[in-house]
Amino acid sequence: MAQKKFMLSEEDIPTRWYNIVADMPNKPLPPLHPGTKQPIRPEMLAPLFPMELIKQEVSTEKWIDIPDEVREVYKIWRPTPLYRAHGLEKLLDTPARIYYKYEGVSPAGSHKPNTAVPQVYYNKQEGIRRITTETGAGQWGSALSFACQLFGIECEVYMVRASYDGKPYRKIMMNTWGASVYPSPSDRTAAGRKILAQDPGSPGSLGIAISEAVELAFQSEDTRYALGSVLNHVLMHQTVIGLEAVWQLEQAGDFPDIVVAPFGGGSNFAGICFPFLRYNLEEGKSIRCIAAEPASCPKLTRGVFRYDLGDTVGMTPLLPMYTLGHNFIPAPIHAGGLRYHGAGAIVSQLLKDGLIEAQAFKQLECFEAGIRFAQTEGIIPAPEATHAIATVIREAERAREEGTAKTILFNLCGHGHFDMGAYEQYLSGKLVEHEVTQEEILESLAELDTPTIP
Ligand SMILES: *Cc1c(COP(=O)(O)O)cnc(C)c1O
């Protein structure tokens, strides 16, 4: 029986994060002030983030040390295992070798604690007492609640109303880790009250919840805000995934031709891909890095590259991003973590420069891929992760047709244990197919009055 699982020991947890900005041929464009439309100075972010994270956000240093206290917490679940997908390969009858890095072993069940822990740590170092955030389906809110509890910081989570009502288990997880969770829009903020005045029954959105959390951080001296994706420092924290995978594939005597990850704002994609992309940028290798996004929220494949806001009300800086427009409300697909209108500045620049690729998938193909994976490999993937699996299956089938023995690596970014409702719908044939129309995209983009990028 061929080897299946590649493990590292605690001493092998990376000691530094990889900052791809140092190696990018074109650096990401600067964020702009939403009012003046001028580049913002790093100090202007101080009401929102601790200084150390702001430094990381604008850093061009290639390697940033991971604090010992953070590595200690990482030891709870890191290093994470890398598996060879012998079962899936056999089912697909492909000459491709398929590997996956499993991030679902973290306490919150996804890759998100990789950044929640350092973010909370730096806030604690700077004497912050409370952190506010938003959450959609609850993955980020639960990761941050876990990290806040460990470091003794208060955590206040604004959870999109539709998920708060429809998916109570993630909320209870957050409560278990001591966080306060409020349905958004709430009457606790001016942003929330404004939305409720227009629509008392508003189901909420990620953009509205961000506005609420940001408003509260701006208002108090001892409170900061935390974001679970998109920003440069968040992407960098996730590179522990790919750095470990490089060593694990070395153990396996292999090296990838293709690296795949699902794409929401870009953090787990960056996490697994950037340490491999480094070989393309430094050594001229030609690994294909593919971002897998949903056809109902296709910012990378059908959005535009321009400045846009991160939230609905307009309190965040303008970021250079592939976007569908900050008022775009994606259909309620089950991959809640992929329902964000924009992509991070770094990933957007890399896509513009042709250094990474993107593909969009409809949810039926994704769930079918997820079931095939669960039945051959055992692990039930998060709906987000099934987008990567669908990509891998297409590439593995292509390898079979072409008769080429490609090596494919993907990020299994989380388990799907809280998504049984979605699996039930798929299995009973009730899951609806969805793809956004060109009219809907054009309508949303037509509302944008933010600066364009030549
Ligand atoms: C949040 C989340 C995503 C999407 O966010 P990225 O920043 O693009 O990684 C994907 N999968 C899971 C399981 C998530 O929790």
Alpha carbon distance 442, 276 (integer Å): 35
Element (H, E) at 232: helix 232-237
Confidence at residue 454, expressed as pLDDT on a 0 to 100 scale: 85
Contacts of 440 (CB under 8 A, 6+ apart): none
State residue 31's pLDDT score: 96
CA nearest ligand 1 atom 2, residue:
337
> Could you tell me which residues are beta bridge partners of residue 160?
184
Which residue's CA lies nearest to atom 8 of ligand 1?
A: 264
Q: Which residues of the chain have pLDDT under 70?
A: 1
Is the C-beta atom of 359 inside 6 A of ligand 1?
A: no
Q: Judge contact between 345 and 412, C-beta under 8 A.
A: no
pLDDT of residue 333: 77
Q: Is the CB of 110 under 6 A from ligand 1?
A: yes
- All structural domains of the chain, each given as residue ranges with its CATH number in brackets, are 4-12+67-109+233-446 (3.40.50.1100)
Q: What confidence score (pLDDT) does residue 329 get? A: 83
Q: Is there a cis peptide before residue 30, judged by omega within 30 degrees of 0?
A: no
- For the CA of 104, the nearest atom of ligand 1: 13
In this prediction, residue 1 carries a pLDDT of 61
Atom of ligand 1 nearest to the CA of 382: 13
pLDDT score of 86: 98
For helices 113-125 and 139-151, give the axis angle rounded to 10 degrees.
40
Return the structure tokens found at 364: 């039926």
What's the token pair of residue 208?
Answer: 């509205």
Q: Which residues of 252-265 are buried (b: 16+ CB within 10 A; e: fewer)?
A: beeebbbbbbbbbb
Give the pLDDT score at 323: 97
**Per-residue pLDDT reduced to its tens digit, 212-230:** 999 999 999 999 999 999 9
State which ligand 1 atom lies nearest to the alpha carbon of 137.
Answer: 15
pLDDT at site 332:
79
Cα separation, 223 vs 212, whole angstroms: 13
